[in-house]
Amino acid sequence: QVQVVESGGGLVQAGESLRLSCTVSGLTFDEHAMGWFRQAPGKEREQVACISERRHTTTTSADSVKGRFTISRDNAKRTLFLQMNSLKPEDTAMYYCVADLRPFGGCSGTPSWRWGQGTQVTVSS
């Protein structure tokens, strides 16, 4: 069974940085695209970024984080990261790691996401 587990959330002040991590079990990690979503209180869940399996091609979907957030992965360690810099109060949200269950989906088409339980990020002003 595929399990997705996030870590690294917390409370930070505006302008600070935070790095989220995500580990996945139950699938061949380097054959599956990975991504991050977030959901702020009272708002729709939005996709933040996606990264492909082996070429590590990235797609940042949320305009509000471009230039500040970076998605990366270490296939040898089966770990996904989200480096978040220059955090703002509006980045406060539950952040979810997702794994595309389709092998070699490459962040295209219609992913079949397996979700983690989320990690809370709170940015104070």
Matching residue, tokens 């070429």:
55
**The pLDDT value given to residue 9:** 97
Q: Determine contact, residues 49/115, Cβ cutoff 8 Å.
A: no
Q: What is the pLDDT of residue 102?
A: 97
125 residues of the chain, pLDDT tens digit each: 999 999 999 999 999 999 999 999 999 999 999 999 999 999 999 999 999 998 888 888 889 999 999 999 999 999 999 999 999 999 999 999 999 999 999 999 999 999 999 999 999 99
User: How far lies 82's CA from each of 37, 42, 74, 78, 86, in Å?
Assistant: 11, 23, 12, 14, 13
- Chain centroid, CA 96 distance in Å: 6
Residue 125 CA to residue 116 CA, distance in Å, equals 28
